[in-house]
Structures are given as structure tokens and as C-alpha cells.
Amino acid sequence: MHLVGFNGRDIREGTCARGNKKSQQANPGEKQPAKIRGPVCPEFISSFIVAITGAALEKLFNGVIRILAAHSFFPKKIRAILDASEIQSSEKCKGRGRVKKEKAPSLRNRKSRIRKVYVIVFGFKIWVVWDHASRLPLAMRFARINVNDTQFAQEVIEQAITNLAGQAEIVSIALDRGFTDGKLLWWLNQKGIIFYMPAKSDMNVYEDAISLIEGGVVAQRKRERYVGSGRNKKTVLDRWEIVGIEELTSAGFYGELGSGNHENRKDFVPNPINAVVVLQDPYKEKNPDCKTMVILTNDSVKKPLKVYDGYDDRSKIENSLFREAKQAWFIQRPPRNTIGGFRAHAYLTIITMALTSAFQAWMEQQEKLEKGGQDTGIRKFRERVKEENGNKLIIFDEDRYAIFDAYEVLILGGQNVLMPRGVPEKITKNDILIKYGAHLE
């Protein structure tokens, strides 16, 4: 506090008298020692956090990612994931967006008729490019909830590439069907980045892939896993059956111009795209009525399971990043109910999560080096000394002091303690005094 200009009186009494009058009225005539109020209140801090501009937050975020990349926290070849997540707010939030959404469960029976139920959702949305291997973000964008997923998709991927420049390379990226955009997929292809994205069921390329299953490359896989524990433990066999189909020409939207009237021209030549059809997997076994998944890609489909696994990684961002941010890091609880409060809180939360993951990875690496006999520096030495002396107590008597084990202090105080490890079964006060050279009468 002294470094930022506060003295002892400011720390004890605060920098203003705000709230003192109210507390005196609540307890009139009561004289108590003044509590440490602190120099500033939470509202004071939140006002400064909310005042951080969007450009400054992006600059801070990108700077942190570049530093992590420069210190080799990312693998050299990154299999990235792009996804967007909603951050919901109240209707009273200043600057929030709004969108009409289907309520889950999406279908309700009413008087023997099936109707869709819609709700209005308020809030914002974040776009994140994420590396599941290091559990670190590569780039991020923030906007209102009504902004389409495709609007910032290319921009955030370009930012991720810039942040990694010279340190690592994005070799593939998995996207949800909400990012369906022919221009985006073609741009990724031109950049040499492999993409994995499921096709929508109303697309021509989806129907085309389903109809060509018999002529495709079939791959199957079986894997055992255990469910339950103890007496209820049992083995479950998961099965996969994937079919790869090459050079489909029914995706007219896949090109530099995207979708549009140019697809109806006589001289229009569509760009070929590959696909894999998921005939069987654990999800389809549990949900037999769900539609067959078709994954579009510019990668080879000679090994269809490789494409399936490339897209299957996409689910990890939802569980490991977005759900963790909402449930454990409270990303939907900003310091103020405004667009500035949500934006600053979202960026700072994701930055803090990234630094925490990086620190955990660094600690694990240091422990491995230490176990191998390598000197890991003064900080690890201090931690080791702290662990070795964690059960010690210092007893002061005027200008003298003595260092005891914690259990020795309790025994000298007349307490009964459990037998400490590595010491005789029974220890008396005299034993401890003799140990430290005290003269007994």
C-alpha cells in the first residue's frame, strides 16, 4: 500500500469518512477500537476495473499470450478449437444485447400439438481460440449476445496466428456448425489449416454424403472402458463406425465468394470438399433417434477415424474452459452490471485462468526436474526449506527464543498428543527439556 501512496493512517481509517456517520448512528455512544477500514472500498476498485477500455483489454490479453508462447508453454503443432459462449445478464444491464432462443427442452406437448417454446435471453458473447493440450487460450473477442458466431471467427483466428508468430503453428482447428461459412472454410484452406466442422442436415452436401456411404472408406474401432466401482463395476464396449468420402462437389458455398447467386451460373465450378459420416459412436448408441453426423474437412479421409477424433476434441473447450469459467470462476458475475463491467470481467477472468494453468504446468515441470536431481533455482529451494520446517514453532521470551517441534510445545503445555512419526513411543516433559540441554533439579 505504501508503494501506491497510502500511509498507515489511510490503511487504518480510510481515505474518506464515507460510511462513518451511518455506523455511529447504528451504535450510538459505543466506544470501540477502530477497525482497519482499508484505504479504498470495493466500489472504488470496481470503478477503475470498469473504466478499462476494450482496446486496452485486448492488448493486455494478447501480450500475455505472446509471453506464454515465447516461453514455450504451447506445443509446436497446435490442434486448436474455436467456439463461442454466451454470458447472460439481466435485462437491466446497460449495453447488453438480446436474442430470441428456443427453450430447452425445445418441444412441448400442448393439447396434442407440438409447439416450440421461445425465450428472450440478454447478455454478451465471447469467442475463444483454445489449445486443449496446454489448456491455454490463443485469442479472444467480446461482443453482444445477438452477434452471429461467424462475424468474429476469422478475426479471432488471425489474432491467434499473430500471437503465436514464430513460436508455434496452428495445424488444425475444430469448429461447431454455428460457424458454417464457406468464406471462412476456404480462407482456412488457403492458410494451410485443416478444419473439422459438422454439416447442417438441410445442406445438399449432407444429403450427398449420406447417399454415398457405400462407396466410401470404412473404418471401425472398439474400445473397452469401466463403468461404476466396487461390486457395481462393469465393462462397457464402445464401438465406432466411420465412413470417409472424398471430393464432394455439392458444397457450393465452399469458396472465396461463399454462398450466393453465383452458385446458379452455368460456368460455376464448386470446390471439392471431403466428409466423414458417423454411422455409429457412443453418443449415437445412447441417442438412437439423433441425426447422423457428417463432418466436413479439407483433410484426407483415408483414415476417417483421424477426422472424427479431430472434431471430437471440440467438446473439451465447453467442459474445460466455458463451464469452468462460469461455475468456478464466476465469469457471469461482473463488478458492475454494464457492458464495461462484463467486458473487463470476461477478459480478466480468462487471463487469470490462463496464468493459473500456465503456473500449474510450470510447477509440474519443475517437480519432474527436481526428482531427476536437477537444480531448479532458489525459489524451489525456498519451498523445500518451507516444507522441511513446516512443523516448527518459535517461542520467544523477551530477548531469547527457542525453536521446537509443534508436538513438543503441546507436551510441554500439558496436552496429550498422538505419537509423532520417527520418535519414541512415549515422550515426557523431562525428555524434551533434556533434549535441549535444560538443567533439571
Terminal Cα distance for the chain, rounded: 53
Q: Please state, in angstroms and rounded to a whole number, the distance separating the CA atoms of residues 356 and 298.
A: 35
28, part of any domain: yes
Set of cell numbers at residue 434: 533434556
Percentage of the chain modeled with pLDDT above 70: 88
What is the Cα gyration radius of the chain? Answer: 31
386, part of any domain: no
Alpha helices in 34-152 (DSSP H): 42-50, 54-70
Stretch 196-222: mean pLDDT: 93
Stretch 267-271: mean pLDDT: 92
Tell me, yes or no, whether 217 and 118 share the same domain: no
Confidence check: pLDDT of 112 > 70: no
Per residue in 80-106, pLDDT (tens digit) is 999 999 999 999 999 999 999 877 654
Task: Evaluate whether 245 touches 255 at the Cβ level (below 8 Å).
Answer: no
Tell me, yes or no, whether 100 and 23 share the same domain: no
Stretch 262-282: mean pLDDT: 92
Residue with cell 510441554: 412
Tell me, yes or no, whether 70 and 171 share the same domain: yes
191, part of any domain: no
Q: Where does the pLDDT of residue 437 fall: very low under 50, low under 70, confident under 90, or very high at 90 and above?
A: confident
Per residue in 306-315, pLDDT (tens digit) is 999 999 989 8
87, part of any domain: yes
The rounded mean pLDDT for the chain is: 87
Please give the helix or strand (H or E) that residue 153 lies within, else none: helix 153-163
Please give the helix or strand (H or E) that residue 435 lies within, else none: helix 429-435
pLDDT of residue 271: 94
More confident residue, 41 or 226: 226
Tell me, yes or no, whether 69 and 91 share the same domain: yes
pTM of the model: 0.78
379, part of any domain: no
Tell me, yes or no, whether 322 and 367 share the same domain: yes
pLDDT of residue 227: 86
Stretch 240-248: mean pLDDT: 94
When mean pLDDT is compared across 8-22, 223-237, 352-366, 377-391, the lowest value belongs to 8-22
Confidence check: pLDDT of 109 > 60: no
Range(s) of the domain holding residue 421: 391-435
pLDDT of residue 94: 93
DSSP string, 371-415: HTT----HHHHHHHHHHHTTTEEEEEETTEEEEEEHHHHHHHTT-
Percentage of the chain modeled with pLDDT above 90: 57
Residue with cell 475444430: 174
- Domain count for the chain: 4
More confident residue, 132 or 9: 132
Give the orientation angle of helix 339-371 with respect to helix 42-50, to 10 degrees: 100
pLDDT of residue 308: 95
Per residue in 161-183, pLDDT (tens digit) is 999 998 999 999 999 999 999 99
Tell me, yes or no, whether 248 and 275 share the same domain: yes
More confident residue, 61 or 405: 61
Tell me, yes or no, whether 75 and 166 share the same domain: yes
The phi-psi region of residue 123 (left if phi > 0; otherwise alpha if psi is between -120 and 50; otherwise beta) is: left
Confidence check: pLDDT of 41 > 80: no
Set of cell numbers at residue 179: 460457424
Instruction: Output the CA–CA distances (angstroms, integers) from residue 111 to 74, 103, 107, 115, 117, in the order listed.
Output: 56, 19, 13, 10, 14
Q: Please state, in angstroms and rounded to a whole number, the distance separating the CA atoms of residues 17 and 358.
A: 42
Stretch 284-299: mean pLDDT: 92
Per residue in 337-390, pLDDT (tens digit) is 999 999 999 999 999 999 999 999 988 888 888 777 777 676 677 777 888 888
Set of cell numbers at residue 291: 441425426
Tell me, yes or no, whether 172 and 318 share the same domain: yes
Q: Please state, in angstroms and rounded to a whole number, the distance separating the CA atoms of residues 243 and 302.
A: 9
Q: Please state, in angstroms and rounded to a whole number, the distance separating the CA atoms of residues 127 and 144.
A: 11
Tell me, yes or no, whether 298 and 319 share the same domain: no
Q: At which of 265, 287, 312 does a domain end?
A: 312
Per residue in 125-149, pLDDT (tens digit) is 999 999 999 999 999 999 999 999 9
Task: Evaluate whether 333 touches 314 at the Cβ level (below 8 Å).
Answer: no
pLDDT of residue 420: 61
**Beta bridge mates, 107:** 116
Confidence check: pLDDT of 406 > 90: no
229, part of any domain: yes
When mean pLDDT is compared across 49-58, 77-86, 282-291, the lowest value belongs to 282-291
Q: At which of 286, 312, 338 does a domain end?
A: 312
- Residue of 320, 185, 313 lying closest to 251 (CA atoms): 185
Tell me, yes or no, whether 135 and 22 share the same domain: no
397, part of any domain: yes
Q: Where does the pLDDT of residue 33 fall: very low under 50, low under 70, confident under 90, or very high at 90 and above?
A: very low
Tell me, yes or no, whether 68 and 106 share the same domain: yes
Listed in sequence order, the residues at least 6 apart from 244 whose beta carbon sits closer than 8 Å to its beta carbon are: 216, 217, 219, 274, 275, 276, 301, 302, 303, 304, 307
Set of cell numbers at residue 36: 482497519
Tell me, yes or no, whether 247 and 222 share the same domain: yes
More confident residue, 201 or 27: 201
Confidence check: pLDDT of 111 > 70: no
122, part of any domain: yes
